[in-house]
Amino acid sequence: MTTRPVPHDDGLPAGVELSRSVLGGYAIRVDGVFKGWIHSSRDGEWNAYQRTGPTTPGRLLGTFAKTEAVRRIVSAT
């Protein structure tokens, strides 16, 4: 997957990096380790997915505002 780094949001925990995916949404990395991803849902909210393994679809954590979606992924791993 090709990604592009995006500007850091000051509301995110230290060590968190968001990268725009060519598939849409953002990959979430913590200290360089891929932890999950978010995709736009509706009304400005985002679906948050925790990475569960290299060949699995991931675990849906829920739908949240963007910063909260990222925090849920970070705290779930």
List the pLDDT tens digit at each of the 77 positions of the chain: 444 455 556 678 888 999 998 778 999 999 999 999 999 999 999 999 999 988 888 999 999 999 999 999 999 96
What stretch of H or E contains 30?
Answer: strand 26-30
31 φ, ψ (degrees, to nearest 5): 50, 40
Identify the domain containing residue 7 by its residue range: 3-76
Q: What pLDDT, on the 0 to 100 scale, is given for residue 22?
A: 75
- Total domains in the fold of the chain: 1
pTM: 0.82
